[in-house]
Structure 1
Amino acid sequence: MSLSQRLNENMKQAMRDKDKERLNVIRMVKASLQNEAIKLGVSDLSEEDELTILSRELKQRNDSLNEFKAAGRDDLVMKIETEIKILQDYMPEQLSEEELEQIVKDTILEVNATSKKEFGKVMGKVMPKVKGKADGSSVQKLVQKLLNE
């Protein structure tokens, strides 16, 4: 089942259950998907495009969460945390630390990276491999750590 179909089914269920928070998040994601499809000039997005949009939505909420925590806005922190949990239901299963480290090590060997100067080259190869399955900031920290060794 595609992401769009899952969203439609879950939206109907959220309406039946009168789950306003889930319904709002699903509607926001559907709007983002539709806007991206219009921007790209296609009727259906590829699975990769859908994953990119979901990742972007999740990143925006994580950034907001950090800002709200710093500002002491507990009311908004709870709301954003709920939205993050809902969005994570649609994300693929995340890679474990060991799996991620192995992918990064393999990629470093693949591009023959030996110093920090080749950070961009390594990141450029790693990110498509872990798209949606790992957070970019954790990948960045791991690549930096492994290139410094």
Structure 2
Amino acid sequence: MLKAQIQADMKTAMKAGEKTRLGVIRLILAAVKQREVDERIELDDTQVLAVLDKMMKQRRDSIEQFGAAGRQDLVDVERFEVEVIQGYLPQALDEAELAALVEAAVTQSGAAAMSDMGKVMALLKPQVQGRADMGAVSAQVKRRLGV
């Protein structure tokens, strides 16, 4: 399980004295634990990936905002966190793979207009979770549906 891998990596980071990496791993485990407590469930790998995906989105937004404010020190911290989190996510989809998945989802759902976007996104979300930015996926679906 992904959660067990993260916990094992925490122990490794502790033993190696990697304080910054350890801090990020603890953030990940805290986010996972928070969701487990809130929902009173044990998260499976798909749900852990959703937590990691949300953390990546938050970091990307922070990098953008800190960059605009001229805070390079904070941008560097966020980029390091992104690198660590990305290590637990599956390999990212390239543009061609994403386009093929969008095309298949549009065909499978029979989508013909923008009003069908929800159907397409519902099919795509489990396939691209943690492998692509959902904003980019949404933009590609919109282009495909002709908006």
The TM-score bracket by the shorter chain reads over 0.9
User: Counterparts of 1:88 and 1:3 in 2: how far apart (Å)?
Assistant: 13
| Unpaired runs of at least 5, structure 2 | none
Q: Which residue of 2 aligns with 1:5?
A: 4
User: Counterparts of 1:81 and 1:65 in 2: how far apart (Å)?
Assistant: 7
| Unpaired runs of at least 5, structure 1 | none
User: Counterparts of 1:99 and 1:106 in 2: how far apart (Å)?
Assistant: 11
- What does 1:3-82 correspond to in 2, within 5 Å? 3-42=2-41, 44-82=42-80
- Offset at 1:14? 1.2
Percent identity of equivalent pairs? 34
Q: Which residue of 1 aligns with 2:109?
A: 111
Secondary structure of 2:75 counterpart: helix
Match of 1:88 among 66, 86, 89: 86
The answer on whether the counterparts of 2:102 and 2:141 sit within 8 Å (CA) in structure 1 is: yes
Question: Is 1:135 the equivalent of 2:133?
Answer: yes
- Offset at 1:127? 1.4
Q: What is the root-mean-square deviation in Å for CA atoms of aligned residues?
A: 1.4
The residue identity in structure 2 corresponding to 1:35 is: Q
Count of residues in correspondence between the two structures: 147
- 1:46-68 Cα deviation digits (max 9, x unpaired): 11111111111111111111111
The two structures have a TM-score, normalised by structure 1, of: 0.92
Q: Which residue of 2 aligns with 1:102?
A: 100
The two structures have a TM-score, normalised by structure 2, of: 0.93
The residue identity in structure 2 corresponding to 1:41 is: R
